Amino acid sequence: MNDFILELDEYFCEKYANYDKLCVLPGYKMPLMQASEVREDGRTYAYTLPMETMSLSRQENKAELLAALKNRMVDVTFSFSFRPIWIFGRIKNVFSKYAVHKNLKLILEKYKWTDEAVLESINVSPEVWKGIRKNKYLPSKNLIFSLAIAGHFTMEDTTALLALCGYEWNYALVKDVVITYLLREKVFNPTMVQAALDEYKVTNLFIK
């Protein structure tokens, strides 16, 4: 289990992109973001280094900085399970192949996941789930994350479902970084999933 958390820590240090929070950590050394080079024409060109230069993975004391960051972590993402679809959107979805409820149906069939099995694994009311399946509601980002982990979705299928709902991965959010690690590495063991969520104080999911 410790090796698993260490691997997650390495991934987090590489991917986490909330640089405003990183640069105020005690002991964080702000890197030089400007560089220059002499090119073939003999001229010196100045350029700005990519933002990834500020990542924790580039810091010599990254373990201490990560520990300090973990102590400050609080999950402030909303826990709503759905967003209502207004009447015009519902009518449009009837004719659109990009409608969420149609593509969600295909994903559930792909993973051989019945509505009954979903409700056994996900803490969402039968009424809300029925509304999502019937083009009445859109699943929230937290609910999609929960479905992806509990249903063992691929990263690609999860990304596609997020996009259809108007979401995207945001590596400035702790939760997004942790969930992408679990999906990319196919970590679906409930004990390991819970250990990762606890380590990074990720809450507001709907996994039972």
pLDDT of residue 47: 66
pLDDT at 37: 79
**So what's the pLDDT on residue 41?**
79
Tell me what pLDDT residue 89 has.
85
Distance CA 66, CA 19 (A): 13
Q: Digits of tens for pLDDT over the chain (208 positions)?
A: 679 999 999 999 999 999 999 999 999 999 988 876 778 777 877 768 789 999 999 999 999 999 999 999 999 888 888 888 988 888 888 889 999 999 999 999 999 999 999 999 999 999 999 999 999 999 999 999 999 999 999 999 999 999 999 999 999 999 999 999 999 999 999 999 999 999 999 999 999 9
Read off the DSSP letter of residue 34. Answer: E
Residue 76, pLDDT score? 84
Q: What is the pTM of this model?
A: 0.91
CA distance readout (Å), 97 to 92, 94, 100, 105: 10, 8, 9, 12
Tell me the pairing of strands 82-84 and 137-139: antiparallel
Q: What is the token pair recorded at 134?
A: 């019937």
Ramachandran class of 204: left when φ > 0, alpha when ψ lies in -120 to 50, beta otherwise: left
Give the pLDDT of residue 45.
77
